[in-house]
Amino acid sequence: MRVGAKHSHLNGLEWILVHRPQVWSEIQTVIGGIDAETYRTKVSREKRTRGKRLYSPVEMNQAFKEAFSGLGWAESRVSYYVCDDADLIRRVERLDPDDQKRTIEQAGHNPIPSYNQTDFVRDHVAIEVQFGKYAFVSYDLSVKHLAFFTSGQIEVGVEILPLKSLQSEMSSGVSYYEKALYDVVRQGRTSPPVPLVLLGIEP
């Protein structure tokens, strides 16, 4: 596979090229090492494409996971507590989880454990390979990457998506690069407030 399109938001790509050139090299190596045709294994049951052999999002995602893991990239989680009081959430947001829980309880509210998880984190860069539904991409860009950025764990979030030409050969509902690009551009130059790199891939 190859990178067919890319977009740098808030100089995300420039940061990687200057501060983590090896990361950019590894991303290209992983993408280039995936043979998409190997994963054209899903026989469609949908009316419009019944019987057609499509690319399997699940199998392609697993291939990326194995490739990145082989280069030392690993999943990361940020745990925190939430409650039903906005002012209290603002007070505890920057505290560590134990202090969040204690403060919420002392204020007479119920602390609810939650977390944000991202596929791969290393060298202050987070990478999400997204072959899921549209809503997952928005969550990645506006919640996941932002949470890791504001907590100081990353400087840049990278979102790898299929281009429309690839997405059209997958099962329905999978998001694609051009749609994610539109959503980012539509929000303006400073939103979401985290440096990002969008990568559109194709066979």
Do 158 and 203 contact (CB within 8 A), yes or no? no
Give the pLDDT band (50/70/90) at residue 171. confident
pTM of the full structure: 0.87
Distances (CA, A) of 103 to 78, 84, 156: 18, 13, 31
Predicted local distance difference test score (pLDDT) of residue 190:
84
Average pLDDT rounded to a whole number, residues 49-53: 76
Percent over 90 (pLDDT), the chain: 70
Domains of the chain: 2-78+118-202 (3.40.91.20)
Predicted local distance difference test score (pLDDT) of residue 136:
86
Of 94 and 92, the structure prediction assigns the larger pLDDT to 92
What is the DSSP-derived secondary structure letter of residue 99? H
Of 189 and 35, the structure prediction assigns the larger pLDDT to 35
Predicted local distance difference test score (pLDDT) of residue 191:
87
Predicted local distance difference test score (pLDDT) of residue 53:
85
Structure tokens at 35: 């043979």
For all residues of the chain together, what is the average pLDDT? 92
Predicted local distance difference test score (pLDDT) of residue 76:
86
Q: 122-157, pLDDT tens digit by residue?
A: 999 999 999 987 778 888 888 889 888 988 889 999
Burial of 106 from C-beta contacts in 10 A (0-12 / 13-18 / 19+): exposed
